[in-house]
């Protein structure tokens, strides 16, 4: 069954051991970027160095269009025969935005709200990075629907760190 997993960095190695994903996406600040975990194929590990900022004026290394395009291209190499694991520092913002992007890219235009509702149901702590979502919305030509869907999710349960969350693609009709 095709499955996208989202986890915080602290649970990433456990998720690798438990789920044996074929692909790994890391979204961390440049100064905290990790190397590919031992034994995991480097060509199936996408490392996106960006800070968790929703406004580029706040400084740091904000999400850019190239980050989103790299994520989308990388996800095309994932066949779904084994899970895809996405993680960031806390498993709340950048990784949830990346999972939302991949799910939307694989779905039909108009499914954005359904996907966002399912993410909220499975991850009450999810707070997808708004800038990443806006850039993905533009890249996928969703005409603001991804942004609207994330805004409609409402406030999240505030946590220091998320937990491993499973997003089976069949739940999303994919």
**What's the confidence (pLDDT) of residue 57?**
82
pLDDT given for residue 1 in this prediction: 76
pTM here is 0.97
Query: Percent of the chain having pLDDT more than 90?
Result: 93
Q: Look over the chain and give the mean of its residue pLDDT values, rounded to a whole number.
A: 96
Give the 3-state secondary structure of residue 144: coil
Give residue 64's Cα distance to chain centre: 15
The answer to whether the CB of 109 falls within 8 A of the CB of 47 is no
pLDDT in tens, 65-96: 999 999 999 999 999 999 999 999 999 999 99
Render pLDDT for 26-46 as a digit per residue (tens, 0 to 9): 999 999 999 999 999 999 999
Tell me the pLDDT tens digit for each residue of 114-145: 999 999 999 999 999 999 999 999 999 999 99
The domain limits of the chain are 3-161
pLDDT value of position 156 = 92
Q: Which pLDDT does position 42 carry in this prediction? A: 98
pLDDT-derived band at 174 (thresholds 50, 70, 90) equals: confident
24 phi/psi in degrees, rounded to 5: -135, 130
Where residue 151 falls (left for φ over 0; alpha for ψ -120 to 50; beta otherwise) is alpha
Average pLDDT over residues 92-117: 97
Give percent of the chain with pLDDT exceeding 70: 100
Rounded to whole angstroms, what are the CA distances from 80 to 23, 44, 50, 61, 168?
Answer: 9, 13, 26, 31, 10
- Give the CATH fold of the 3-161 domain: 3.90.190
């Amino acid at each position: 069954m095709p499955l996208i997993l989202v986890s915080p960095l602290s649970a990433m190695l456990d998720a690798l051991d438990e789920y044996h994903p074929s692909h790994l996406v890391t979204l961390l600040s440049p100064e905290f970027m990790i190397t590919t975990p031992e034994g995991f194929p480097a060509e199936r590990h996408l490392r996106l160095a960006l800070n968790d900022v929703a406004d580029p004026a706040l400084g740091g290394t904000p999400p850019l269009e190239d980050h989103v395009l790299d994520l989308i291209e990388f996800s095309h190499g994932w066949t779904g025969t084994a899970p895809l694991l996405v993680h960031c520092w806390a498993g709340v913002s950048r990784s949830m935005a990346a999972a939302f992007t991949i799910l939307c890219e694989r779905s039909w235009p108009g499914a954005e709200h359904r996907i966002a509702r399912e993410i909220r149901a499975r991850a009450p702590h999810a707070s997808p990075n708004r800038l990443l979502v806006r850039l993905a919305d533009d890249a996928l030509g969703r005409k603001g629907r991804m942004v609207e869907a994330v805004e409609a999710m409402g406030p999240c349960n505030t946590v220091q760190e998320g937990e491993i969350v499973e997003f089976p693609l069949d739940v999303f009709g994919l």
